[in-house]
């Protein structure tokens, strides 16, 4: 629990969540529907579940199976509310850090809009990237579990051990209680947590069949640059302790560790503060996450690299039994479509 002082406000938040959820349960027909099926990837928590690397892994798996994809995202942290197609060579300020990273890694069309339905309509107007053969064209809805205004064929929910121990906002980071997992079409678990979480899922389903469970392997790698011997580590992510532990697993011993707020925007004053911190602790370089690195413009990177080398770490996800997972997913999509 991150903010125990706010625990008295949790019942009020829970009541609001229950009211909103029941409204969608009573009127599912009010959700806006796109022409192509939507596969939502989401979680119970406000951040840190690993949705971005999972979306990338799922997109890669679907494309290997021959399906056309695009990604729809809100584009959190961007400076505009326009409906935009992400330019992989653009800036995080224009598109948001996660959509930009997805566009760069997946190489597929990514669209951002406050209303994801608007992003989907734009995607469907760009018909040139949609497949016209027997395979499906699919929208991947990034961070979509709570965005029930948009109809979806499948709800994939990432569930972690941290979620199981957490409480609702504003004291914790959960957007919804654990019972919301009953809405999931598929639950994705981290490989190292799966055995511990399966019994919990059985209890919450109260005798009902647990949705299909996917197992995701996660591997941290330094994907850019050779780390300095004593780097300053910095990140602006929801769960910085995970980055700290990943560095330790790669035998990187930071001179100091700076945890910034999630979706931290970088500008020259912020970089100068990091440089001052590096000099104070005698760091001889920098290491950060891919999500942070995508927000560093060339001038900002040069400011850091004038002091010492910059290395970047990233989490890569792979689905166990990928062929079966994709086949099960497509079967769910086709079942949903047949009922329309």
Kindly state whether residue 253 falls inside one of the protein's structural domains: yes
- Range from 11-25, 80-94, 122-136 carrying the lowest mean pLDDT: 122-136
One domain, residues 186 and 260: no
**CB–CB of 2/171 below 8 Å?**
yes
Per-residue pLDDT at 244: 98
Q: Domain range spanning residue 301?
A: 227-308
The DSSP result for 291-331, as a single string, is HHHTT--HHHHHHHHTTS-EEEEEEEEEETTHHHHHHHHHH
Q: Give the chain's domain count.
A: 2
CATH value at residue 262: 3.40.50
The answer on 287 and 186 residing in a single domain is: no
Q: Indicate whether 32 and 121 sit together in one domain.
A: yes
Residues 248 and 184 in one domain: no
Task: Confirm whether residue 50 is marked as ligand binding.
Answer: yes
Q: Is residue 314 part of a domain?
A: no
**Cα 286 to Cα 307: distance, rounded to the nearest angstrom:** 9
Sign of the dihedral defined by the CA atoms of residues 337, 28, 41, 147, in that order:
positive
Are 212 and 233 in the same domain? Answer: no
| 250 labelled ligand-binding | no
Length of the chain equals 340
Q: Decide if 313 is inside a domain.
A: no
Task: Tell me: do 37 and 155 sit in the same domain.
Answer: yes
Q: Are residues 235 and 167 in the same domain?
A: no
* Residue 51 assigned as binding residue: yes
Is there a single domain that holds both residue 160 and residue 208? yes
The reply to whether 236 falls in a domain is yes
- The reply to whether 164 sits in an annotated binding site is no
Question: For the segment 257-315, what is each residue's pLDDT rounded down to a tens digit?
Answer: 999 999 999 999 999 999 999 999 999 999 999 999 999 999 999 999 999 999 999 99
Residue 222 lies in a domain: no
Specify whether 241 is located in the same domain as 115.
Answer: no
User: At a CB cut-off of 8 Å and minimum separation 6, what does 260 contact?
Assistant: 234, 235, 236, 270
Q: Is the pTM of this model over 0.85?
A: yes
**76 and 49 share one domain:** yes
pLDDT of residue 205: 73
Q: Are residues 41 and 116 in the same domain?
A: yes
The pLDDT tens digits of the residues spanning 69-83 come to 999 999 998 998 899
Write down the mean pLDDT value for the chain: 95
Quick one: DSSP state of residue 193?
T
Instruction: Please check if 49 is assigned to a binding site.
Output: yes
CATH code of 200's domain: 3.40.50.300
| 156 and 293 both lie in a single domain | no
46 marked as binding residue: yes
Whether residue 15 lies inside any domain: the answer is yes
């Amino acid at each position: 629990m991150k903010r125990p002082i706010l625990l008295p406000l949790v019942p009020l938040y829970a009541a609001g969540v229950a009211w909103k959820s029941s409204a969608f349960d009573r009127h599912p027909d009010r959700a806006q529907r796109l022409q192509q099926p939507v596969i939502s990837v989401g979680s119970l928590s406000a951040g840190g579940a690993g949705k971005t690397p999972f979306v990338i892994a799922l997109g890669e798996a679907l494309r290997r199976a021959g399906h056309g994809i695009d990604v729809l995202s809100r584009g959190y942290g961007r400076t505009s509310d326009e409906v935009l197609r992400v330019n992989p060579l653009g800036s995080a300020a224009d598109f948001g850090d996660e959509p930009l990273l997805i566009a760069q890694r997946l190489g597929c069309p990514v669209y951002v809009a406050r209303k994801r339905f608007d992003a989907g309509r734009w995607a469907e107007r760009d018909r040139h990237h949609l497949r016209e053969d027997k395979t499906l064209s699919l929208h991947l809805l990034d961070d979509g579990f709570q965005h029930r205004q948009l109809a979806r064929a499948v709800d994939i929910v990432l569930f972690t051990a941290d979620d199981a121990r957490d409480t609702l906002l504003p004291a914790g980071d959960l957007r919804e209680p654990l019972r919301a997992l009953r809405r999931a079409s598929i639950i994705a678990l981290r490989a190292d947590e799966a055995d511990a979480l399966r019994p919990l899922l059985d209890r919450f389903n109260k005798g009902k069949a647990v949705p299909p469970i996917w197992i995701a392997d996660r591997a941290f790698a330094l994907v850019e640059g050779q780390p300095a011997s004593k780097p300053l580590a910095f990140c602006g992510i929801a769960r910085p302790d995970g980055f700290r532990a990943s560095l330790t697993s790669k035998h990187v011993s930071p001179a100091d560790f700076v945890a910034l707020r999630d979706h931290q925007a970088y500008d020259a004053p912020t970089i100068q503060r990091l440089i001052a911190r590096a000099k104070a602790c005698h760091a001889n370089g920098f290491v950060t996450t891919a999500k942070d690195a995508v927000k560093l413009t060339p001038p900002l990177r040069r400011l850091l690299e004038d002091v010492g080398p910059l290395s970047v770490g990233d989490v890569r996800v792979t689905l166990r039994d990928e062929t079966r997972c994709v086949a099960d997913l497509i079967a769910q999509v086709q079942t949903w479509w047949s009922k329309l």
